[in-house]
Amino acid sequence: MTAPQQERSKATRLRLLEAAVDCLAEKGWSGTTVAIVARAAGVSRGAAQHHFPTREDLIAGALEFATETQLIENRARAATLPEHGLTRVEAVVNMLVDIYVGPYFRAALQVWVAASADPSLHARVQPLEARLGRAIHHVAVELLRADERKPGVRETIQGTLDMARGFGLATVLGDDSARRRPIVRQWARVLAGVLGEQ
Amino acid sequence: MTAPQQERSKATRLRLLEAAVDCLAEKGWSGTTVAIVARAAGVSRGAAQHHFPTREDLIAGALEFATETQLIENRARAATLPEHGLTRVEAVVNMLVDIYVGPYFRAALQVWVAASADPSLHARVQPLEARLGRAIHHVAVELLRADERKPGVRETIQGTLDMARGFGLATVLGDDSARRRPIVRQWARVLAGVLGEQ
DNA sequence: AGATAAAATCAAGCGCGCATGCTGGTTTTG
DNA sequence: CAAAACCAGCATGCGCGCTTGATTTTATCT
């Protein structure tokens, strides 16, 4: 055959990861069983067991996959940002917020919260979260063209990211977009002030 | 006996709720089984079943208990706040943040995240969250002596609360207090500026 | 090159452990 | 004596991990 099974294997593995991420975002931690994920991916449970020996392997793999996908999407979107001024700041904040209210974050949230009580999972997840956090911070600084040497700038950006995280958390309880909009707008104004003062 | 069983019943019920909250905060959603909670409360599983027919009843009750306890503690702590000026603003922000990094919030977080994929639980939990959110916002406005008619004031306070929520979320992945402190300090400065400008 | 061994991929079934909910029975209170 | 609070055991269901077996691809030897 022209298609080596190596490719096919990678494909099913990827389908499993995608299905796991979707399942986590939709059905939550307890609702994400290997059987359900396997069925959603269109493979048997044995196949899933082969690629990911344990459930924890599957979940951790899904989180890693979601993390990297998130970063890639960010880079793509960063190129489409508007010019300068306040509208750019607001656009950046909106983009950061969108990261934390999207499906990838919802999936990650389930894993993080579950990992807080699961030492073994925590050990695998914590470095991923740290890496993602640093990466997003770096992106934020770059897109805002911020000078972190100015006092307060770094802290305010960190606070902005934490606010976005808070939005993400609020979103799991229900659609929050209407409440978010004016807050983001006001926050962008304040942030622009901090960035440009003096 | 001098102690009517009504009191004893209320007492065991309360012990169950306390144990459930602790268990949620420590062992997470999946780790909180009725058997474990009952043992921690010092009662048999059958007794727990008697007071809370279903597990969902127990969890929902625990969340409600945690919510009210949280509000009561807030009122107590609000009386001990310092005088005026920036230190007061910083103290208020610190107090708000402490709400979201405390054990009650950790317990609530587990329930909220789980409820996002459980419609039946979601229906019972969502109004609680809304009530708590409004209450905390009200407390914040009052303690900051903010004039919400001023443009941007209301939005900035909401953003502050969302940032605090984000801190709480970051805390489940590991102790974050060292990172938080400078952010809170800086944000208090900014918040004071927004509150007092013009 | 051809054949056979070895390894990888996928499918299906089994058993263990555990949590929930229910039911019957016992003690305490009014 | 009636009712409520409390306790012990049973039964069902389900998710996980493991084992077995079939099919395909890759590697090795003659």
Whether nucleic acid strand D comes within 7 Å of the CB of A48, the answer is no
- Asked if the structure places residue B31 within a domain, the reply is no
Average of per-residue pLDDT across A136-146: 93
Token pair of A23, please? 């399942």
The rounded mean pLDDT for chain B is 91
The confidence score (pLDDT) of residue A80 equals: 80
Of B106, B169, B194, the CB nearest to A169: B169
Token pair of A18, please? 């995608």
- Asked if the structure places residue A34 within a domain, the reply is no
Helix, strand, coil tally for chain B in percent (to 5): 80, 0, 20
- Asked if the structure places residue B124 within a domain, the reply is yes
Percent of chain B residues topping a pLDDT of 70 = 94
- Asked if the structure places residue B37 within a domain, the reply is no
Whether nucleic acid strand C comes within 7 Å of the CB of A158, the answer is no
- CB-contacted nucleotides of strand C (7 Å): 8-13, 18-25, 28-30
Query: Chain A contacts of B26, Cβ < 8 Å?
Result: 117
B11 and chain A in contact, CB less than 8 A: no
H/E element, B63:
helix B55-78
B194 and chain A in contact, CB less than 8 A: yes
The rounded mean pLDDT for chain A is 91
A28 and chain B in contact, CB less than 8 A: yes
Average of per-residue pLDDT across A58-82: 90
Q: pLDDT, tens digit, for every residue of A153-166?
A: 999 999 999 999 99
Closest residue (CA) to C1' of nucleotide D17 is A54
Whether nucleic acid strand D comes within 7 Å of the CB of A54, the answer is yes
Residue A7 has pLDDT above 70, yes or no: no
Radius of gyration of chain A (CA): 19
The confidence score (pLDDT) of residue A5 equals: 56
What is the CA angle B134-B106-B71, rounded to 5? 35
The total of structural domains in chain B comes to 1
Q: pLDDT, tens digit, for every residue of B159-182?
A: 999 999 999 999 998 889 999 999
Report CA(A126)–C1'(C11) in Å, whole number.
35
Cβ separation B114–A190 shorter than 8 A: no
Of B27, B166, B173, the CB nearest to A163: B166
Distances (CA, A) of B18 to A141, B36, B41, B47: 43, 13, 8, 15
- Asked if the structure places residue A31 within a domain, the reply is no
- What lies within 8 Å, CB to CB, of A40 at 6+ separation is A19, A22, A23
Closest residue (CA) to C1' of nucleotide D15 is A33
Average of per-residue pLDDT across A36-40: 95
Whether nucleic acid strand C comes within 7 Å of the CB of A110, the answer is no
d(CA A105, CA A100): 5
Q: pLDDT, tens digit, for every residue of B119-171?
A: 999 999 999 999 999 999 999 999 999 999 999 999 999 999 999 999 999 99
- Domain housing A185: 59-196
- Asked if the structure places residue B6 within a domain, the reply is no
- Asked if the structure places residue B1 within a domain, the reply is no
Query: Chain A contacts of B156, Cβ < 8 Å?
Result: 186-187, 190
What is the CA angle B104-B177-B186, rounded to 5? 110
A31 and chain B in contact, CB less than 8 A: yes
User: What are the DSSP calls for B169-182, one per residue?
Assistant: HHHHTS--HHHHHH
CA distance from start to end of chain A: 68
- Asked if the structure places residue B34 within a domain, the reply is no
